[in-house]
Each structure stands twice: as structure tokens, then as C-alpha cells.
Amino acid sequence: MSNPQSAICNRESQILYRPATASDQKTIRAIIREAGINPLRWQWSNFLLAANAITSEVVGTGQIKTHGDSSRELASIVVRPAHQRRRIASEMVRRMIAQDARESNAPLYLLCAGNMLAFYERFGSRRVERSETPPYFYFRPPDAPGGLCGGFPARRPDCPVVTVLSAEDKRAYAG
Ligand SMILES: CC(C)(COP(=O)(O)OP(=O)(O)OC[C@H]1O[C@@H](n2cnc3c(N)ncnc32)[C@H](O)[C@@H]1OP(=O)(O)O)[C@@H](O)C(=O)NCCC(=O)NCCS
């Protein structure tokens, strides 16, 4: 499998997947703000970007961040509206999981809206109960950005839920 962070162009969709650089920080911030998702911790060096191979316009973001309790989180998955439903997010997630499988034996957590669960299950991720979550997720204030709507189980379809991809499943998925 290719290096998920290498700048490889998917010719069919004309999308280039590349690691972010310091000069991308403002763009990352704007895309995440535009999407209205959790605005916490967007250090550029954690990000993989999807960009138009011809114009260089950044159309998608994603990152893996490590929290104070050492838990790792796949986060900030956004594709700008005009570019959605072209499998760009799927490709970013695939590449980030493959990279994480090489770099870490730890499970990979994700906070997503309940109605996105099926999307992440395609990658082997499974929903976890609150008691199974690391402290970072367990103690997250319910009303904080990306909070858990007062706890588990999710009360509405758009309530965030936590999923996990075990180290074993990461490796299996990444091949
Ligand atoms: C969610 C998001 C990243 C998906 O990006 P994308 O590039 O369009 O995703 P893909 O093309 O790879 O989608 C593949 C599948 O994901 C599912 N999916 C995509 N967007 C979805 C949405 N908004 N709600 C529910 N399912 C969705 C679909 O099942 C789709 O499969 P299909 O095309 O066979 O129907 C994009 O809609 C987005 O940026 N949304 C706003 C920010 C957000 O909610 N991010 C998720 C944080 S967990």
C-alpha cells in the first residue's frame, strides 16, 4: 500500500492527498469553521489534506490527534460542499487509518454524529459505550463542541457517538 501521506494524485478524481504545511493553517481553520464542527486543536502538522490537483484548492481535511490521556482520535474530517459525494472523505479516512496502523498500536477513537456511524463502520470502526471510552471522551462536557448530548446512548440521530477502531482492526483494514 502507498504511503497515505505521500502526495499521490488520484487521476480519476484529480485529487491530490498530501500532508499539510504551516502555510495551510489558515485554510484548515476556515474549512473547519465553515463546516461548523469541533473547533478544538487544529495543529496543521496533524493534518492530511485533499486538494484539487490542478488548482491546488484545498477541498478536504482530516487529522489524527493525540490527547493528554494518550488516546488517539481521528477528527476534523471535512469535505467542502461542492466536492462532496466523490469518495474524497473515504479516501482520506482510508489513508489516515493506514498511516496510523504503521505508527501506533493504540486504538483509534472517533467522535461522530450518530447518523454518520454507518460511514465509519465501513472502515471497521464500532460504536463504544461510555464506560469503554478513555478519560478524554468520558469527561467531555456534554455541551462542549462535539459534546455527547448528555451521555450515551445518543438521544437524537445527530447526537455525537464515540467509535473505536482497535489496533488489530486497523492493521487488518490497512492490509
Ligand atoms: C461527512 C463528509 C466528510 C463526507 O465527505 P464525502 O467526501 O462527501 O464522503 P464520501 O463521498 O467519501 O462518502 C461516502 C459515504 O459516506 C456517507 N455520507 C457522506 N456524507 C454523509 C452525510 N452528510 N450524512 C450521512 N452519510 C453521509 C454516504 O453513505 C456515502 O456513501 P454513498 O456515496 O455511497 O451514499 C462531508 O459530508 C462533510 O464534510 N460534512 C460536514 C462535516 C462533517 O459532518 N464531518 C464529519 C465529522 S465526523
Q: Exposure of 137 by Cβ count < 10 A (0-12 exposed, 13-18 middle, 19+ buried)? A: buried
> What's the rounded Cα separation, in Å, for the pair 18 and 41?
20
Instruction: Tell me which residue has its CA closest to atom 5 in ligand 1.
Output: 89
Q: Ligand 1 pocket test: which of 34, 48, 58, 85 has the largest number of ligand atoms within 8 Å of its C-beta? A: 85
- Residue 42's alpha-carbon distances to 62, 102, 120, 155, in angstroms, are 10, 22, 21, 28
Evaluate whether 59 touches 80 at the Cβ level (below 8 Å): yes
Does the pTM surpass 0.85? The reply is: yes
pLDDT in tens, the chain (175 residues): 445 445 555 554 699 999 999 999 999 999 999 998 876 778 999 999 999 999 999 999 999 999 999 999 999 999 999 999 999 999 999 999 999 999 999 999 998 888 899 999 999 999 998 888 999 988 876 555 455 555 544 456 667 788 999 999 988 877 7
Domains and CATH numbers, the chain: 8-174 (3.40.630.30)
> What's the rounded Cα separation, in Å, for the pair 164 and 91?
18
